[in-house]
Amino acid sequence: MTSQTIRVELGTRSYDILIGEGLLAQAGERIAAVLPGARVALVTDENVARIHLETVSASLERAGIGVTTVVVPAGEASKKFDRLQEVVETVVGARLERGDAVVALGGGVIGDLAGFAAAIVRRGMRFVQIPTTLLAQVDSSVGGKTGINSRHGKNLVGAFYQPQLVLAATDALDTLPRREFAAGYAEVAKYGLIGDAAFFAWLEANWQDVFSGGPARTEAIARSCQAKADTVAADERETGERALLNLGHTFGHALEAACGYDADRLVHGEGVAIGTALAHRFSVELGLCPAEDAERVERHLQAVGLPTRISDIPGGPLSADELMTHIGQDKKVKRGRLTFILTHGIGRSFIADDVSPERVRDFLQRELST
């Protein structure tokens, strides 16, 4: 059985990411070792609860950990104020203390929601992530970003709040639909495209093994988590280089918002895939990136089954004006200036401040016509 441990170095707030099989059944003993004597509020969604709640609850009980469970509807719509209030009131009503823990069992939505609740109840409780999707294991569960959505945009209300432990059970990914696994893979590929051309080349050669499971899957997750851990350790609150992790996200978040966060049309990782391809093509248009690199990125994303064009999104047409409105709400906007993650080629992404809105709008108009 292949397993790995990645350490996120943040001084007194450092923590481990455990990656491997069987971690759901070991959750109780792993949490008890890090948080002895703690009781927990276990937050999950209806879909994950049907598959994994019994295993994790039994593990917690075997370890002598008292459990209060909160189950919310699945999907992005649960990242909102009324669901946050539901979680908070349940935790407070269970008389959990600051030394107790909120445990997130699920994908990125659950991790963001539960983590934000942990950050604000009693001005900060302990927090554990048990991510059950590929996207959450390699991205949202690591680094301390928590929050909910506003009607004005995605992730606009939240806090930086680090977990005490992350348990990434690779065998939990076997239950994912292929579409959802592929969506998470967009975030894996991102790490190679940001600053590790050799990792991207490894993914081109090994992606089928990553999808099928086994050592290649564990290796891909571990390398992704190490890349994010290194970035977070250097820039925890995204005042500088951590913004590179948003490659593809400025375009992607705008596409998600324009689709009304309708998962039938577009899920987050698919938005990131299209956004990543757009960022590379926009970089080519600006004379920053070789066209062959953008074409190589697009070929690989298409090979694994991800969309790369706005026209790949089903449903009604989108407009450049609407997309620009959502881009203007992006968290990286500073005093009205647009910031994008662009690239000089595979593995050579950079932060571009003060990107011309007119150039972006013109680019999107052309993309929408293809």
Known catalytic residue at 145: yes
Please compute the mean of the pLDDT values over residues 143-151 and round it to a whole number. 93
Strand order of the β-sheet with 67-72 is 3-8, 15-20, 165-169, 126-131, 101-106, 40-45, 67-72
Tens-place pLDDT, residues 197-242: 999 999 999 999 999 998 999 999 999 999 999 999 998 988 889 9
Query: Does the annotation mark 246 as catalytic?
Result: yes
Residues 245-289 have pLDDT tens digits of: 999 999 999 999 999 989 999 999 999 999 999 999 999 999 999
Whole-angstrom distance, CA of residue 153 vs CA of residue 308: 22
Residue 54 in this model has a pLDDT that exceeds 90:
yes
CB 29 within 8 A of CB 63: yes
Determine the pLDDT at residue 332: 57
**Phi and psi at residue 62, to the nearest 5°:** -60, -30
Please tell me the predicted confidence (pLDDT) of residue 238. Answer: 86
Residue 187 annotated in active site: yes
**Rounded to whole angstroms, how far apart are CA atoms 1 and 23?**
12
pLDDT score at 1: 52
**Is 152 an annotated catalytic residue?**
no
- Specify binding-site residues: 108-112, 132-133, 145, 154, 187, 249, 268
Q: Is 228 a catalytic residue?
A: yes
- The answer to whether 208 touches 120, Cβ cutoff 8 Å, is no
Q: Is the pLDDT of residue 354 over 90?
A: no
Q: Residue 27: which residues within 8 A CB-CB, separation 6 or more?
A: 56, 59, 60, 103, 130, 167
Respond yes or no: is residue 280 known to be catalytic. no
pLDDT attached to residue 240: 87
Question: Which residues, in sequence order, are bridge partners of residue 106?
Answer: 131
pLDDT for the residue numbered 152: 83
Confidence at 330, pLDDT banded by 50, 70, 90: low
Give the pLDDT confidence score for residue 42 in this predicted structure.
Answer: 98
> Token pair for residue 71?
């189950």
Angle at 213 between CA 208 and CA 217, to 5 degrees: 80
Q: Which is the catalytic residue, given 21, 76, 246, 298?
A: 246
pLDDT digits (tens, 9 = 90+) for 105-137: 999 999 999 999 999 999 999 999 999 999 999
Domains of the chain: 3-175 (3.40.50.1970), 178-368 (1.20.1090.10)
Nearest 10 degrees: Cα torsion 256, 259, 262, 265: -100
pLDDT, average across residues 322-334: 79
Q: Which of 123, 151, 335, 358 is catalytic?
A: 123
* Residue 334, pLDDT above cutoff 70: no
280-325 residue pLDDT tens: 999 999 999 999 999 999 999 999 999 999 999 999 889 999 999 9
- Across the chain, mean pLDDT equals 95
Q: How confident is the model at residue 87 (pLDDT cuts 50, 70, 90)?
A: very high
Over residues 142-146, the mean pLDDT reads 95
Q: Among the options 126, 190, 249, 281, which is catalytic?
A: 249
Determine what percent of the chain is predicted with pLDDT higher than 90: 88
pLDDT at residue 283, as a whole number: 98
Per residue in 10-53, pLDDT tens? 999 999 999 999 999 999 999 999 999 999 999 999 999 999 99
pTM of the model: 0.93
Angle at 308 between CA 174 and CA 280, to 5 degrees: 115
